[in-house]
Amino acid sequence: MASEVLTATFPLNVKQKNGKVVALSGSWYRNAHFFTSNNIKKHYTEKLAEPQLKSYSPIDGVVFSLFVIYKPNKRRLDTDNYTTVHKKFFNDAMTKYGIIEDDNTDHSPFQISVYGGIDKDNPRVDIYVSQDLEIIINLAREKLWTTN
């Protein structure tokens, strides 16, 4: 996978079994009951991540990751508040499905989050993983929304 880029896309919100919509943010995660957060993580891992990861081969060595967030409107949104949960859940899913050996600093020492802009029809977090740091840095520059 030297120059291959693993890509995945996840919604900013998920619906619980009871129909309640949960924002996958650090604020929710901090306040969620452990049973609820475990159920949401299981849904994220098995229903959202696994279908996207099953086509990728295991990666031997170090990976670098980019998390690009697209918000639904002009309201303020804390990039790290959202991407921190996606980083946790996605890295755990990559480990669970054997894409990476572990998600510790020996295997995943660099993860960056950037704001990609507004997408009212598809607010989401796009994730890019590569063994080539330059690819991740260039993607971050390309995806970064700026007012200039």
Q: Give tens-digit pLDDT for 27-47.
A: 888 888 888 888 899 999 999
* Helix (H/G/I), strand (E/B), else coil: 31: helix
Between CA 133 and CA 31 the distance in angstroms is 34
Residue 148 has pLDDT above 60, yes or no: no
Q: For residue range 94-117, what is the model confidence (pLDDT) as tens digits?
A: 999 999 999 999 999 999 999 999
Question: CA of 18: how far to CAs of 15, 21, 22, 51, 130, in Å?
Answer: 8, 9, 11, 23, 37
User: How confident is the model at residue 1, as a pLDDT?
Assistant: 46
Span 48-63, average pLDDT:
95
Q: Which CATH number is associated with domain 6-143?
A: 3.30.1330
* Helix (H/G/I), strand (E/B), else coil: 122: coil
Span 74-90, average pLDDT:
93
DSSP 8-state symbol, 46: I
Residues in Cβ contact with 109 at an 8 Å cutoff, skipping those fewer than 6 apart: 62, 64
Other beta carbons within 10 Å of 128 = 19
* Helix (H/G/I), strand (E/B), else coil: 15: strand
Between CA 34 and CA 141 the distance in angstroms is 37
Q: Which residues of 76-102 are buried (b: 16+ CB within 10 A; e: fewer)?
A: ebebebbbbbbbbbbbebbbebebbee
Span 60-69, average pLDDT:
96
Residue 122 has pLDDT above 80, yes or no: yes
Residue 2 has pLDDT above 70, yes or no: no
**pTM for this model (two decimals):** 0.92
CA atoms within 13 A on the CB side of 140: 17
* Helix (H/G/I), strand (E/B), else coil: 28: helix
Structure tokens at 109: 């020492």
Residue 147 has pLDDT above 80, yes or no: no
